[in-house]
Structures are given as structure tokens and as C-alpha cells.
Chain A
Amino acid sequence: NAGVTQTPKFRILKIGQSMTLQCTQDMNHNYMYWYRQDPGMGLKLIYYSVGAGITDKGEVPNGYNVSRSTTEDFPLRLELAAPSQTSVYFCASSLAGYNEQFFGPGTRLTVL
């Protein structure tokens, strides 16, 4: 039981490049989330999903896209990377909205 896994662990992008951050959970959780954490700040919700085929925006969705074709996977897409997207990205999952969330180890992204 691996929990929530994220790849890659680290990535450096040039301005304007695109990439996909991968997230997989093996707990059969319905809910999945993407957060970003900037230095000295709390986590901010980017997008979430309440089940396969259903996604919705969080607090800071601009510049990102998501899809949820399976229960297990919830990739986050950056289309045109900008320096403001330099951050640590965490994926999380939960059984339902009121359950605690389980987090992956994070992806540290730098955009230069």
C-alpha cells in the first residue's frame, strides 16, 4: 500500500514550457486534490476532484488544468510555465469530503 505517490520529485522548467505532474493513489479514495505551497505560506488548493470525470476549481486555479479519468490518477497540467508557478506541489486524497486528507511527498518545481 503506497498511499499517494507523486512524480517527479524535482523539476526545473524554462518559462513557456509545459509539463504534467503525476499523482496516483491506491487507497480507492473518491476525492483528490492538488495544492501548492509557496515559501512561508500555507497550502493553497488549486483543483480538486470528487470522482472520476468530475473536477472543480479551488482557490488558485489559473495557469493549471486537471483531468480525472480514473479513480487512481489525478494529473496536474501546466501549459505555459511562469516564474510565479515556482512552488512545491502536493497531491492529496480522501475517502470523502469530511475525512482527513492523505498527502503525497510533493514535487518541487522551479521555473526560470
Chain B
Amino acid sequence: DQQVKQNSPSLSVQEGRISILNCDYTNSMFDYFLWYKKYPAEGPTFLISISSIKDKNEDGRFTVFLNKSAKHLSLHIVPSQPGDSAVYFCAAKASGSNDMRFGAGTRLTVKP
């Protein structure tokens, strides 16, 4: 069962505009959420995380929003840059569990 879903396989935005990547989850036990970025032929790299006690976390151009009632989180990238073009994975885990669940990823293309 896919407990973490990224329903948009791809997203294309213009350089300088905002990129919004979405993620939904079904397991109400999840309390820690992460976004990873992956370039081709490389492993994923950590981008930003958020705990369920917060609804927003910001790090430079990247902001993650968490809506617990809707079981939804989103990653905002402002402004988007061509170097942001990559696959973005949403991941979630529950307290006390070491089993992190990943979404299928969204391929972001930022056009110059």
C-alpha cells in the first residue's frame, strides 16, 4: 500500500517563478516529513524536513508546509532556478519507527 503519494509525476516552471510540489499521506501515525532531491545517477540528498508539531519550515528558497488535517504537505521553491531541475521525493516516518516511506517522486524542470 502506498502510504505516501506524489500525484504529479512532473512539473515544469519558468526560471524565477514559484515551484510547488505536493505530497499526500494516508498514515496518521506519520509525524516527521522530509523532502529529498535527486539528480540522475546520484543518490537522493536531503533538502528540508518538518515535524508534525509545526506547520511550516523555511530554509532559504525552500519552504515546506504541513496540513495535518488534510494529510498534505507541499514544498515551495522561490525563486526557481535551472539548477533546481531534479526529481523531488517526499518521505514520511512515524515516531519510534525506522521505516521511512517515500513517494514516487516529482520531476521538476525549471526552464531558463
How close is B104's CB to chain A, nearest CB, in angstroms? 5
Residues in chain B within 8 A of chain A (CB atoms): 2, 4, 6, 9, 32, 34, 36, 41-46, 49, 89, 91, 93, 98-105
List A contacts of B45 (CB < 8 A). Answer: 103
List A contacts of B91 (CB < 8 A). Answer: 42-43
Write the chain A residue with the least CB distance to B51: A98
Most buried by A among B34, B36, B41, B43: B43
B98 touches A105 (CB 8 A): no
**CB within 8 Å for A42 and B99 given contacts A98-B32, A105-B42:** no
Cross-chain contact of A100 among B2, B4, B34, B105 (Cβ < 8 A)? B34
How close is A41's CB to chain B, nearest CB, in angstroms? 5
A100 to B48, CA, bound (A): 9
A50 to B27, CA, bound (A): 24
A16 to B101, CA, bound (A): 29
Digitize A73-112: 1 where CB-to-B-CB distance is under 8 Å, 0 elsewhere: 0000000000000000010100001101111111000000
Digitize A53-65: 1 where CB-to-B-CB distance is under 8 Å, 0 elsewhere: 0001011000000
